[in-house]
Amino acid sequence: NKIIELKQRPTGKPSLNDFEFTEEDMPQPKDGELLLQTKYVSVDPYLRGRMRDEKSYIPPFEIGKPLESGIIAEVVESNNSNFKKGDFVNGMLQWKQFQTSNGNGLNKVDRKNAPLKAYLGVLGLTGLTAYLGLEKIGKLQKGETLLVSGAAGAVGSVAGQIGKIKGCRVVGIAGSEEKIDQIKEKFSFDAAINYKTTSNMKKAIETACPNGVDVYFDNVGGEILDAALVNMNKFGRVINCGAISLYNKTETQTGPRVEPLLIKNSILMQGFIVRDFVKDFGPAQKQLGKWMEDDKLNYLETVVEGFDSIPQAFIDLFNGKNKGKMIVVV
C-alpha cells in the first residue's frame, strides 16, 4: 500500500524532494471500520500553509507522517452499518492508496447527482468558498463591478460566474492568454487581464473597470491586491480569500501604504475561511447544484493521472498549470 509523507518542510517553492514515497502492509478494518480505496485526490494551495510549522486554523503536517487533503474514496470493505461496500465517500483523508476509517467526518457522495470529481471542486470546498465568500463578505449587488484574481482557477472561475448570475460586470485576472480567452468564452467574464504581460496593473484594472471596483475577490494577494485596492469604490468590499503569490515567500512582506484611500472610501477588507461557515454548506451546495442543472454554472478540471503524481500536481498549482480545479485520479 503506497503512502506519500512530508519528508521536510519546503523552503520557498515546494519541490519533489520535500515528499517521501513509502509503503506499508495492506491495512485491515477492525469492527466498526471501513477499508477505503482512494479514487480522486484534491490538491490545494492551502496545503502549502500546513507544510509550515506554524499555528493556523488547521494544524500543520508533521514530518514523516502522511499528508492529507480532500479525497473521494470507495468503500471496498465495511464493518460499519452506516456504510456499505461500493459506497463513495468524501472527506479529509490521507495520501494513501488504501486506508481504514471509522466513518467520522465522511460524507457519502452520489454519482447520480454529479460526477464524483465535482464534489472536490464546484460542489465541494472550492465552489463553496466562492459562493460563501461572496455571500458573507462580498454582499454583491446587481449592477456592481466584481473583480476576481486567480480567475481561471477553481475558486475564481466559480466566483466570477456567480457575479454574472447576479447581474454584475465581472473582470478576471489570470496568468496566460489561454486562460484569459477561456474565462471570457466559457465563463462569460466581461473582461480579463493577463497579469504576467501587463506592466501597470493599477491602470489595467482602471481601464477594465470603468465604474471602479465594488467587490474584489482576492485569491492571490501581493501586488495584484495593491493594484486592486487603489481602484475600489466607496463602500467597496475586499474578500481576502487567498494569497497564493505570498505562500512561498520566506520573509514577511510589506506593500504600498494606501490606508488613506481605504479610509476615504470606507473600504471593508476581511479575511475569509470557508470552514467557519460549515452550517451554510448544505444550502450553498444546493444552490450551486441548481445553477449547474440550469446550465448557468460551468466548471473546468485539470485531471492528472496516478497516485505518484499527487506531489507534482500540488507543485504545479504554483506554476499555474491548472485550469479550474486540479484533481489527481488514482
Give me the residues that bind ligand NDP (CB under 6 A), please. Answer: 44-46, 125-126, 129, 150, 152-156, 174-176, 179, 219-220, 241-245, 272-274, 317-318, 320, 322, 326
At its nearest, how many Å lie between ligand NDP and the CB of residue 221? Answer: 8
| Residue of 132, 136, 7, 256 lying closest to 124 (CA atoms) | 132
Residues 237 and 245: their CA atoms lie apart, in Å, by: 20
| Residue of 129, 132, 9 lying closest to 62 (CA atoms) | 9
Q: Please identify, using beta-carbon distances, which residue of 103 and 311 lies nearer to ligand NDP.
A: 311
What are the DSSP calls for 198-245, one per residue?
-S-HHHHHHHH-TT-EEEEEESS-HHHHHHHHTTEEEEEEEEE---GG
Q: Tell me the three cell numbers of residue 179.
A: 486562460
List, in order, residues 6 or more apart from 286 with CB less than 8 Å away.
Answer: none
- Alpha-carbon distance values, 129 to 21, 56, 304 (Å): 31, 18, 23
At its nearest, how many Å lie between ligand NDP and the CB of residue 79? Answer: 34
Q: Please identify, using beta-carbon distances, which residue of 33 and 44 lies nearer to ligand NDP.
A: 44
Residues 247 and 38: their CA atoms lie apart, in Å, by: 28
At its nearest, how many Å lie between ligand NDP and the CB of residue 59? Answer: 16
Cite the DSSP H helix spans in the chain: 47-50, 125-133, 154-165, 177-185, 201-208, 222-229, 259-264, 281-293, 310-316
Is residue 219 a contact partner of residue 156, using CB atoms and an 8 Å limit? yes
Q: Tell me the three cell numbers of residue 185.
A: 468564452
Residue 31 DSSP one-character state = T
Q: Find the Cα–Cα–Cα–Cα dihedral 202, 208, 210, 211, rounded to 10°.
A: -90
Q: Tell me the three cell numbers of residue 208.
A: 477594465
Task: Say how far residue 108 (Cα) sits from the centre of its chain.
Answer: 21
Residues 168 and 263: their CA atoms lie apart, in Å, by: 25
At its nearest, how many Å lie between ligand NDP and the CB of residue 196? Answer: 7
| Residue of 276, 248, 313, 274 lying closest to 49 (CA atoms) | 248
